[in-house]
């Protein structure tokens, strides 16, 4: 019994420790994975807009984007992760770490657009989804234009 | 002494090419910068520009006198005459010719990189599948960088036209709109008849077809019996 509690405590401290300081390599990997997953979801919604529209498919994809957008991805931009390798060399621009309010605004717009898309996706209104999808894509681009290197 | 005569300098296809190109390139820069759902239009207008440029390349061989590349190719001799101030002939002067080749060259580069580009959001160029991810990312980087070169060339192009209009008192825009120009000497443009036009149009359309990627093999449809898991 006692040893179980100790083990549990140990596990919690370890987990908390891991939470407090994400390793740079992991942080880069995770954010790259999160973005790639959003890329998957965006393509999926696009395929529905261009082809036959499946409400459930779109809602699933929109929920994924909404979840990632609201996951607090900022935590993956740990100090020192402006350089380094995750799945590949990071393409973040150092400016992302220094432009505080400007990045915050872009991230906020992105969150709002992701929430809006998830909302209209649930309603199944294809025209509204197309519109919200375009707006969301614009916020992805706004961040990439300013904070991701060209290659 | 004042024996000016009217000659045809820019034939109708060359003029149509030019003004359609202006409209389309403006559209491309706007849709490329704005992104969002407009990126789909960017791809479509890109194919239009591809058709226009290929048309112009063919027209540079089979078109009428002053549209032909060999007529205005800037040879050292021509440049020397021009620099001494002795340039009289209608059509592109040697410096203008550099501008034409530079504009067309950068446009072609823009088109080739654009055709395989991706925006990492939900759009890929129609020939993306031919090159794969890594090369596409590289091409996208170049595509985005060379836009600035293109814009600089266009600014220079417009500055040169303003310079001619205000300093040299030579309005180049009117001939590019109306086709003819009043000159002291020079022959009107000849050639570039209906057959040449058909040939150029057919080649341009074929190029648009090739670039549109519709001929690329569809990924084989998954066999009906095999389904991906439903979770
Ligand atoms: C003369 C032809 C073209 C011009 C002038 C042009 C111009 C542009 C511009 C201004 C951008 C925005 C770059 C930035 O935000 O820094 C862009 C992006 C893009 N263009 Fe083009 N483009 C041309 C042709 C094409 C073609 C034919 C395609 C493919 C069909 C294409 C695909 C793309 C893609 C995918 C992007 C997004 C890049 C990104 O956001 O990372 N372009 N283009
Ligand atoms: C998107 C912007 C533009 C592009 C890419 C462009 C491109 C070109 C090209 C390729 C040519 C060579 C024509 C040929 O031989 O077929 C040309 C010539 C010419 N362009 Fe443009 N152009 C642009 C905008 C303009 C504008 C806005 C004007 C007028 C206000 C203009 C006026 C002219 C004139 C007058 C010529 C003939 C030059 C001469 O007499 O030597 N262009 N342009």
pLDDT tens-digit readout, B197-230: 999 999 999 999 999 999 888 766 656 656 777 7
Confidence of residue B196 (pLDDT cuts 50, 70, 90): very high
What's the pLDDT score for residue A35? 96
Entry pTM: 0.87
CA-based end-to-end distance of chain B: 89
Within an 8 Å CB–CB cutoff, is residue B44 touching chain A?
Answer: no
pLDDT at position B87 over 90: no
- CA–CA separation, B66 vs B96, rounded Å? 12
Which domains, from first to last, does chain B contain? 5-212 (1.20.950.20)
Phi and psi of A41, rounded to 5°? -65, -40
Q: What's the CA angle centered on A142, arms A136 and A147, to 5 degrees?
A: 130
Atom of ligand 2 nearest to the CA of B72: 15
What's the pLDDT score for residue A14? 44
pLDDT tens per residue across span B159-188? 999 999 999 888 999 999 999 998 888 888
What's the pLDDT score for residue A3? 58
What's the pLDDT score for residue B227? 72
What's the pLDDT score for residue B119? 93
- CA–CA separation, B74 vs B124, rounded Å? 38
pLDDT at position A44 over 60: yes
* Residue B146 Cα to ligand 1 middle (Å): 10
What's the pLDDT score for residue A2? 55
- CA–CA separation, A123 vs A125, rounded Å? 6
Confidence of residue B89 (pLDDT cuts 50, 70, 90): confident
Within an 8 Å CB–CB cutoff, is residue B65 touching chain A?
Answer: no
Assess: ipTM above 0.85: no
DSSP structural state of residue B223? P
Within an 8 Å CB–CB cutoff, is residue B201 touching chain A?
Answer: no
Q: Which ligand is nearest to the CA of B44?
A: 1
Q: Do strands B180-183 and B5-8 pair parallel, antiparallel, or not at all (unpaired)?
A: antiparallel
Whether ligand 1 lies within 6 angstroms of the CB of B143 is answered as yes
Ranking A28-37, A102-111, A139-148, B179-188 by mean pLDDT, the lowest is B179-188
* Mean pLDDT across chain A: 88
What's the pLDDT score for residue A10? 45
Nearest to A144 among B36, B120, B123 (CB): B120
What's the pLDDT score for residue A13? 43
CB contact under 8 A, A141 and B122: no
pLDDT tens per residue across span A122-149? 999 999 999 999 999 999 999 999 999 9
What's the pLDDT score for residue B223? 60
DSSP 3-state assignment of A116? Answer: helix
% chain B with pLDDT above 90:
73
Ranking A8-17, B16-25, B82-91, B116-125 by mean pLDDT, the lowest is A8-17
* Chain B residues with beta carbon closer than 8 angstroms to that of A69: none
- The first and second tokens of residue B222, run together, are 């998954």
Q: Which CATH fold topology does A23-147 show?
A: 1.20.120
DSSP structural state of residue B181? E
pLDDT tens per residue across span B40-55? 999 999 999 999 999 9
What's the pLDDT score for residue A17? 44
Ranking A45-49, B74-78, B173-177 by mean pLDDT, the lowest is B74-78
What's the pLDDT score for residue A59? 96
* Residue B138 Cα to ligand 1 middle (Å): 13
Confidence of residue B116 (pLDDT cuts 50, 70, 90): very high
pLDDT tens per residue across span B93-109? 998 899 999 999 999 99
Q: What is the nearest CA distance from A104 to chain B, expressed in angstroms? A: 20
Q: How does DSSP assign B128-165, residue by residue? A: HHHH-HHHHHHHHHHHHHHHHHHHHHHHHHHHHHHHHH
What's the pLDDT score for residue B209? 97
DSSP 3-state assignment of B61? Answer: helix
- The first and second tokens of residue B112, run together, are 């080739």
pLDDT at position A120 over 60: yes
CB contact under 8 A, B121 and A137: yes
% chain B with pLDDT above 70:
95
A103 close to A144: Cβ distance less than 8 angstroms: no
- CA–CA separation, B112 vs B135, rounded Å? 12
Q: What number is the average pLDDT over the span A35-46?
A: 96
Q: Give pairs for A61-66: CB < 8 Å, separation 24+.
A: A61/A121, A62/A114, A62/A117, A62/A118, A62/A121, A62/A122, A62/A129, A63/A118, A63/A121, A64/A37, A64/A38, A64/A40, A65/A38, A65/A41, A65/A114, A65/A117, A65/A118, A65/A136, A66/A114, A66/A115, A66/A117, A66/A118
What's the pLDDT score for residue B136? 95
**Domain ranges (residues) in chain A:** 23-147
Atom of ligand 1 nearest to the CA of B124: 35
């Amino acid at each position: 019994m006692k040893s179980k509690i100790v083990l549990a405590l140990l596990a919690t401290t370890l987990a908390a420790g891991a939470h407090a300081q994400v390793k740079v390599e992991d942080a880069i990997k995770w954010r790259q994975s999160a973005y790639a997953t959003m890329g998957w979801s965006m393509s999926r919604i696009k395929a529905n807009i261009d082809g036959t529209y499946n409400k459930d498919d779109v809602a699933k994809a929109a929920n994924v984007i909404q979840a990632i957008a609201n996951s607090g991805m900022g935590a993956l931009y740990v100090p020192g992760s402006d350089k380094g390798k995750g799945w590949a060399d990071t393409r973040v621009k150092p400016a992302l770490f220094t432009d505080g309010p400007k990045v915050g605004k872009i991230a906020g717009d992105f969150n709002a657009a992701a929430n809006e898309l998830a909302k209209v996706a649930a309603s199944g209104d294809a025209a509204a989804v197309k519109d919200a999808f375009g707006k969301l894509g614009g916020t992805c681009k706004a961040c990439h234009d300013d904070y991701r290197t060209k290659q | 002494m004042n024996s000016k005569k009217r000659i045809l300098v820019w034939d109708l296809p060359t003029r149509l090419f030019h003004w359609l190109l202006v409209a389309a390139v403006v559209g491309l820069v706007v849709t490329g910068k704005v992104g969002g759902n407009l990126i789909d239009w960017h791809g479509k207008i890109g194919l239009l520009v591809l058709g226009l440029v290929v048309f112009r390349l063919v027209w540079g061989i089979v078109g009428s006198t002053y549209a032909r590349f060999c007529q205005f190719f800037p040879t050292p001799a021509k440049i020397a005459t021009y620099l001494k101030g002795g340039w009289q002939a209608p059509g592109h002067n040697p410096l203008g010719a550099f501008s034409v080749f530079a504009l067309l060259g950068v446009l072609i580069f823009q088109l080739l990189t654009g055709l395989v580009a991706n925006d990492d959001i939900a759009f890929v160029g129609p020939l993306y599948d031919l090159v794969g991810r890594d090369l596409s990312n590289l091409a996208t980087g170049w595509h985005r960088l060379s836009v600035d070169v293109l814009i600089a060339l266009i600014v220079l192009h417009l500055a040169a036209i303003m310079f001619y209009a205000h300093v040299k008192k030579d309005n180049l825009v009117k001939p590019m709109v109306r086709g003819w120009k009043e000159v002291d000497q020079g022959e009107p443009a000849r050639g570039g008849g209906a057959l040449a036009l058909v040939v150029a149009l057919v080649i341009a359309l074929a190029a648009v077809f090739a670039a549109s990627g519709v001929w690329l093999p569809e990924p084989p449809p998954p066999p009906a019996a095999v389904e991906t898991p439903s979770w």
